[in-house]
Amino acid sequence: AVARELGCDTVVDRHAEDVVAAVKQATGGRGADVVYDPVGGDAYTQSAKTVAFEGRIVVVGFASGTVPSPALHHALVKNYSILGLHWGLYPARDPELVRYCHARLVELVVRGVVRPLVSARVPLGEAAAAVQRVADGVTTGRTVVVPTRKNGAVA
């Protein structure tokens, strides 16, 4: 419901629907030009089945806990690229790029082009429970931990 409210053209419930069939239907059988995969495991397997000829799969993480072994013959036959993106290395390897990207993102937020969805703000004392809700997959959007001040110190 949130994705639809935010203007997504196609919404697929991966728990209740066939993701591969839904993507193929939404793209007229072509497949997705770009697949963003932060999950790995079975989600990566679905990604490979949904990516278009000459498409890209951007591997961002393995939230499922399973690191997939891509079938490289499949990538060759469909002529798609598998791109790893580990943002965590950039502060050490290219800190100027991090600053540049941050400045551009702030500009987009200020202009209203990007509107981050913050669905919950919790005090620092509830951080552990909030992280557990994220891990359980029951959150929508970002959960922000907000430190509170007591006698001038962050608590």
38, part of any domain: yes
pLDDT at 78: 95
Q: Which residue has the tokens 């072994």?
A: 69
Does the pLDDT at position 152 exceed 80?
no
pLDDT at 147: 87
Tell me the whole-structure pTM to 2 decimals.
Answer: 0.77
Does the pLDDT at position 153 exceed 70?
no
137, part of any domain: no
CATH number at residue 47: 3.40.50.720
126, part of any domain: no
**Residue-number span of the structural domain to which 62 is assigned:** 1-84
Number of compact structural domains in the chain: 1
3-state secondary structure 21-83: HHHHHHCCCCCEEEEEECCCHHHHHHHHHHEEEEEEEEECCCCCCCCCCCCHHHHHHHCCEEE
69, part of any domain: yes
138, part of any domain: no
Rounded Cα distance between 52 and 28, Å, is: 11
27, part of any domain: yes
17, part of any domain: yes
pLDDT at 49: 95
Task: Let me know: does 51 contact 75? Beta carbons within 8 Å.
Answer: no
Convert the pLDDT of each residue in 2-42 to its tens digit: 889 888 889 988 889 999 999 999 999 999 999 999 989 98
pLDDT at 104: 97
Convert the pLDDT of each residue in 103-128 to its tens digit: 999 999 999 998 889 999 999 999 99
2, part of any domain: yes
Convert the pLDDT of each residue in 93-103 to its tens digit: 999 999 999 99
